[in-house]
């Protein structure tokens, strides 16, 4: 009995010692985490960089080493004849502690290594986007350019800059940009249009974020957030697939772009038995882009709307088979560079598999209207008669109109 008591006392002492050694502070608010396994399992490669490491989480991988030379090249290009980097290093040293708190896990780099990494990565982001603007404007030729001589490399670099685990603090990028920018009227936001698809003038002034992915997310969702800001909070429900909705008498149409108005890619509406959905172009980069946007939203506070996750949940409800993908393609809602409808369905299925339910659902009103329509006895009767054969359907439709 005494032996058992002795073991118990040892355990108590051990736990007390652990508690004394444990130090926890809730003051730091990380922005970047390792992507959770529940998200990563459907397509792990969607979160891993192909060409460049930004930040510490993928630093040192052998397949990314080649781009380290271009980071040095861009730094030398920025400095020009001057070899002094003092002002840049000093600016980052002043932000080092807050930059470490930016990451959820402890970063195993000493002060000099950490500052050097932030300097090279931040300068690469700025100089790459500046050079993109010059190439696009015809001021720099693509032929012979170490990076822009290959459209594939440029495409993959743009993809890698949008990875959730491949980020550094926006405060670092902004500080370096202010030091390197000779035109005080320009802002870093003026450079991000290759990542948003919007022209430079379309970036909202209040689009702020803690890193580049968050900034692009803010810009891409801004107009939709403005539309939804006056609506009540809806809870998440469900709707039937595109095939079932058509059988219930609902027409699915591509939402037209209106000249002079910002038709948000997220703005799905339902009016007079018609579901209007903006066209979605699916390419090789689509899955990675959406998955990293979902990962970003996954770690946001629960009170903040998750617009991209809600959008993918909507598409996932509509597309329960390749037949639904075909329906949406024929309606002009989905266009694809991937190949057949089965490939499109597989992408949407993976994207929607681990989209989590949130307190607020952006399309709750649309779902409610659709379900009200499908639940109407007249609409159910119309749908049943429509599927009963062309002759009976014609006679029934005339009878319904007379009634």
Query: Which of 20-34, 69-83, 262-276, 351-365 is least confident?
Result: 20-34
Alpha-carbon distance of 38 to 105, in angstroms, equals 18
Beta-bridge partner residues of 254: 277
Q: Which of 207, 223, 239 marks a domain boundary?
A: 223
2 vs 287, higher pLDDT: 287
Is the residue at 30 inside a domain? Answer: no
Model confidence over 191-247: pLDDT tens digits?
998 998 765 555 666 567 899 999 999 999 988 888 877 676 777 678 999 999 999
Is the residue at 204 inside a domain? Answer: yes
Q: Which of 223, 248, 276 marks a domain boundary?
A: 223
Is there a contact between 289 and 312 (Cβ–Cβ < 8 Å)?
Answer: no
Alpha-carbon distance of 53 to 363, in angstroms, equals 36
Alpha-carbon distance of 87 to 89, in angstroms, equals 6
Mean local confidence (pLDDT), 335-343: 88
Q: How far is CA 317 from CA 239, 245, 370, in A?
A: 6, 11, 12
Statement to judge: residues 110 and 239 lie in one domain: no
Statement to judge: residues 242 and 202 lie in one domain: no
* Residues 6 or more apart whose Cβ sits within 8 Å of residue 14: none
Query: Which of 41-55, 253-267, 276-290, 379-393 is least confident?
Result: 379-393
Model confidence over 265-319: pLDDT tens digits?
999 999 989 999 999 999 999 999 999 999 999 999 888 889 999 999 999 999 9
Statement to judge: residues 245 and 173 lie in one domain: no
- What pLDDT shows up at residue 18? 83
Q: Which of 223, 249, 281 marks a domain boundary?
A: 223
Model confidence at 396, pLDDT cuts 50, 70, 90, reads very low
Phi, psi of 48 (to 5 degrees): -105, 135
Is the residue at 400 inside a domain? Answer: no
62 vs 260, higher pLDDT: 62
Range of the domain at 279: 231-384
Statement to judge: residues 69 and 109 lie in one domain: yes
- What pLDDT shows up at residue 390? 54
Angle between helices 111-136 and 86-93 (to 10 degrees): 120
Statement to judge: residues 359 and 238 lie in one domain: yes
**pLDDT at residue 9 above 90?**
no
- What pLDDT shows up at residue 182? 63
Is the residue at 15 inside a domain? Answer: no
Is the residue at 297 inside a domain? Answer: yes
Statement to judge: residues 347 and 240 lie in one domain: yes
The pLDDT mean for the chain works out to 85
Statement to judge: residues 64 and 115 lie in one domain: yes
Predicted structure pTM score: 0.86
Residue the block writes with tokens 């397949």 = 63
**pLDDT at residue 385 above 70?**
no
Statement to judge: residues 353 and 375 lie in one domain: yes
**pLDDT at residue 5 above 60?**
no
Is the residue at 402 inside a domain? Answer: no
- What pLDDT shows up at residue 231? 72
Alpha-carbon distance of 399 to 291, in angstroms, equals 49
Neighbours of 38 (CB within 10 A): 11
Given the DSSP bridges, would you call strands 280-282 and 334-336 parallel, antiparallel or unpaired? parallel
* Per-residue tokens: 121: 């990565």
Statement to judge: residues 255 and 312 lie in one domain: yes
Statement to judge: residues 82 and 181 lie in one domain: yes
Report how many domains make up the chain: 2
Alpha-carbon distance of 343 to 351, in angstroms, equals 13
Is the residue at 17 inside a domain? Answer: no
Residue the block writes with tokens 């001021």 = 139
Query: Which of 3-7, 114-118, 190-194 is least confident?
Result: 3-7
CA within 13 Å, CB half, 268? 25
Statement to judge: residues 197 and 314 lie in one domain: no
Model confidence at 16, pLDDT cuts 50, 70, 90, reads confident
83 vs 332, higher pLDDT: 332
Mean local confidence (pLDDT), 137-160: 88
Statement to judge: residues 328 and 252 lie in one domain: yes
Model confidence over 169-203: pLDDT tens digits?
999 999 999 998 766 668 898 899 899 876 555 56
Is the residue at 12 inside a domain? Answer: no
**pLDDT at residue 332 above 50?**
yes
- What pLDDT shows up at residue 257? 75
Cβ burial 185-213 (10 Å sphere, 16+ → b, else e): eebbbbbbbbbbebeeeebeeebebbbbb
Kindly state the percentage of the chain with pLDDT values over 70.
Answer: 83
- What pLDDT shows up at residue 400? 47
DSSP H/E element including 129: helix 111-136
**pLDDT at residue 382 above 70?**
no
Q: Write the DSSP assignment of 274-320 as a string of letters.
A: EEEE--EEE-TTHHHHHHHHHHHHHTS-TTS--HHHHHHHHHHHH-S
Kindly state the percentage of the chain with pLDDT values over 90.
Answer: 56
């Amino acid at each position: 009995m005494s032996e058992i008591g002795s073991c118990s006392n040892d355990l108590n002492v051990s736990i007390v010692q652990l508690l004394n050694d444990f130090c926890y502070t809730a003051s730091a608010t990380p922005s970047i985490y390792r992507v959770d396994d529940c998200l990563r399992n459907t397509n792990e490669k969607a979160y891993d960089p192909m060409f460049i490491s930004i930040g510490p989480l993928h630093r040192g991988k052998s397949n990314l080493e080649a781009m380290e030379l271009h980071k040095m090249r861009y730094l030398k290009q920025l400095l020009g004849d001057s070899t002094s980097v003092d002002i840049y290093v000093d600016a980052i040293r002043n932000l080092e502690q807050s930059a470490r708190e930016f990451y959820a896990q402890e970063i195993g780099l000493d002060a000099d290594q950490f500052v050097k990494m932030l300097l090279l990565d931040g300068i690469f982001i700025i100089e790459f986007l500046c050079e993109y603007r010059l190439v696009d404007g015809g001021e720099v030729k693509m032929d012979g350019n170490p990076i822009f001589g290959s459209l594939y490399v440029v495409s993959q670099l743009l993809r890698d800059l949008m990875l959730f685990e491949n980020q550094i603090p926006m405060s670092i990028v902004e500080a370096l940009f202010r030091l390197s920018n000779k035109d005080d009227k320009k802002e870093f936001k003026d450079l991000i249009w290759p990542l948003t698809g919007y022209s430079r003038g379309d970036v909202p002034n209040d689009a702020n974020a803690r890193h580049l992915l968050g900034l692009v997310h803010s810009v891409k969702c801004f107009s939709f957030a403005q539309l939804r800001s006056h609506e009540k909070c809806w809870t998440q429900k469900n709707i039937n697939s595109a095939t079932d909705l058509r059988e219930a008498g609902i027409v699915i149409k591509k939402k037209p772009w209106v000249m002079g108005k910002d038709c948000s890619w997220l703005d799905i509406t339902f009016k007079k038995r018609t579901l209007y959905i903006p066209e979605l172009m699916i390419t090789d980069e689509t899955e990675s882009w959406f998955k990293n946007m979902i990962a970003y939203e996954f770690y946001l506070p629960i009170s903040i709307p998750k617009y991209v996750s809600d959008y993918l949940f909507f598409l996932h409800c509509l597309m329960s088979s390749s037949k639904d993908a075909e329906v949406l393609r024929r309606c002009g809602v989905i266009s694809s560079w991937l190949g057949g409808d089965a490939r499109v369905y597989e992408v949407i299925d993976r994207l929607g598999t681990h989209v989590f339910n949130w307190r607020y659902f952006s399309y709750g009103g649309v779902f409610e209207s659709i379900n009200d329509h499908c639940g109407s006895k007249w609409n159910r009767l119309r749908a049943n008669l429509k599927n009963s054969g062309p002759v009976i359907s014609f006679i029934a439709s005339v009878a319904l109109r007379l009634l």
